[in-house]
Each structure stands twice: as C-alpha cells, then as structure tokens.
Amino acid sequence: MKFIAYILFSESAAKYYTGHTHDLANRLAEHNQGETPSIKMGIPWRVVWKAGFLTRAEAMKMEVHIKKRGAKRFLTDLSRGA
C-alpha cells in the first residue's frame, strides 16, 4: 500500500489524532518530536489504528470519514463489528 490513514492516541492528553501519510514511521516520529504544533502537547503518541490504500485520495477520504465520525466512536464501532 502506498498511503496510510491512521489514528494516534495520547495517554497524557487523552486525545486522538487522525491523519494520512505515505510513511507512517516517519510521520509518527515527527509527531513525537513536536514538529506538529497543534498536537505537541500530546507527546508521546502511539498508533492505535491504521489502514493502507493505493491512492492518496482514498486515504484522505478515510481520514475525513473518521474525523466526521470521531476517532473514538470510529474505533468503538470497529470493535463492535459495526
């Protein structure tokens, strides 16, 4: 897969962050090094969900879907098999 939609979770901030990337390891490192000012307060972040897609458009579409639903609710729905 070329692109990844992902959800991160911060224990310290008790918050989720949803995004997409072509290099999840690098993106996670950027988040945890404070390179994303809007989520700097949540360091350390950890990946709690990810899915691969062939195109950036598909990954972005999933990101938008998750953000509209809310990451916590999206993950709850997945665990229930909804």
- Predicted pLDDT at 76: 95
Question: If pLDDT is split at 50, 70 and 90, which confidence band does 81 have?
Answer: confident
Q: Look up tokens 């909804």; give the residue.
A: 82
- Predicted pLDDT at 48: 98
* End-to-end CA gap in the chain: 24
**Residue of 34, 37, 5, 1 whose CA lies nearest to 18:** 5
At the fourth CATH level, the homologous superfamily of domain 3-80 is GIY-YIG endonuclease (3.40.1440.10)
The pTM score is 0.93
pLDDT at 32 over 80: yes
pLDDT at 5 over 80: yes
**pLDDT for 33-75, tens place per residue?**
988 788 889 999 999 999 999 999 999 999 999 999 999 999 9
